Structure 1
Amino acid sequence: MVAQLRILAAAFLFISVPLAAAPSIVAARGQWAALSSGRTCEAATRSLGAVYKDRPPARASLSFDAGGPRHGQFAARLSRVPRAGASVMLYIGDTPFLLMTQGDMAWSRGPGQEQAIIARMRASGGMRLEARSPGGGRIVDRYSLDGAPLAIDAAAACAAALANR
């Protein structure tokens, strides 16, 4: 009886918790998609590398908030957690960008860097993120930029449309 009550209580708790709405696809081309979720739109892609069964795949995105502070903020989830204190570098073509990091996440450093990242993404065919693993090995996550310009433009337009509502 006690076990049945626990199951019933757990089911009630699960049902009472609102489920987050899945993002909707605004546009997609090549390896990229523009997604809308709430008041945020993003251009996003997954890495071309292996997916590890014990963690989510590496992912990169540019976020645009409707009337908010993000207007192309670059963010990436690395395929593995880098060594503590390690630098994470984003290379687009042959242009390097030093990113801010916390755990397995890396972000652009501000609006100037974000605009430079977007400009290089429009002119290049690929990008990669590099860092050192806790054991000293290299972490390299590669991305295709096929479809990135369309996804970036669609995400920026999506955020502008949401801001005007």
Structure 2
Amino acid sequence: MLALAPAIVAADGQWSTLSQGRTCEAAARSVGTVYKDRLPARASLSFDAGGPRHGQLAIRLSRVPRAGATVMLTIGDQPFMLMSQGDMAWSRGPRQEQAIIAAMRRSGGMRVEARSPGGGRIVDRYSLDGAPLAIDAAAACSATLVNR
């Protein structure tokens, strides 16, 4: 069975709200360089209709970090340590997700940092212009799917 492409529910600034199946997400690409041979860095907050995710943050890094490297998200001046595997990183649970969303609402930007296999820095930056609307739209979108 083919999966349907996500539908755009809302868009503002650098962020959009997407709906696919029983999941809605607020998502944005990083503001940095996009390389031809790699997928662009991407951040998203997922909300499942009646499911376990209510703002889970997922980040696809622009490059795969060194094995065992710490992945840090900084929003404004507030740091958050993320879980990671390969080129993906995630929030650590509902309490951290609430704190991340609150920080996103009051800041203009965020960055994700890790160490590359060669020891250099990986830094992916995001504008938060439009993030509050996209987050609210994703939460509302998932709430409407519960009743379907």
TM class by smaller structure: over 0.9
Which residue of the partner structure matches residue 85 of structure 2?
102
Compute the TM-score of the two structures, normalised by the length of structure 2: 0.99
In terms of Rg, which structure is larger?
A: 1
* 1:86 is aligned to 2:86: no
Letter in 1 for 2:55: G
Q: CA deviation at 1:134?
A: 0.1
How much identity, in percent, do the aligned residues show? 83
Which residue of the partner structure matches residue 48 of structure 2?
65
User: Matched residues in 2 for 1:52 and 1:101: separation?
Assistant: 21
Q: Identify, as 1 or 2, the structure richer in helix.
A: 1
Instruction: Give 1:1-165 correspondences, 5 Å limit.
Output: 18-165=1-148
User: Matched residues in 2 for 1:132 and 1:36: separation?
Assistant: 33
The structure 1 segments of at least 4 consecutive aligned residues displaced by more than 3 Å after TM superposition are none
Q: Identify, as 1 or 2, the structure richer in strand.
A: 2
Gaps of 5+ in 1: 1-17
Instruction: Give the number of aligned pairs.
Output: 148
User: Matched residues in 2 for 1:93 and 1:137: separation?
Assistant: 23
Q: CA deviation at 1:55?
A: 1.3
Q: CA deviation at 1:99?
A: 0.1
Gaps of 5+ in 2: none
Provide, for residues 61-102 of structure 1, a one-character-per-residue CA deviation record: whole Å limited to 9, x for no partner: 000000000000000000000000000000000000000000
User: Matched residues in 2 for 1:41 and 1:155: separation?
Assistant: 5
Q: CA deviation at 1:19?
A: 2.7
Aligned CA RMSD, in angstroms, stands at: 0.5
User: Matched residues in 1 for 2:6 and 2:121: separation?
Assistant: 32
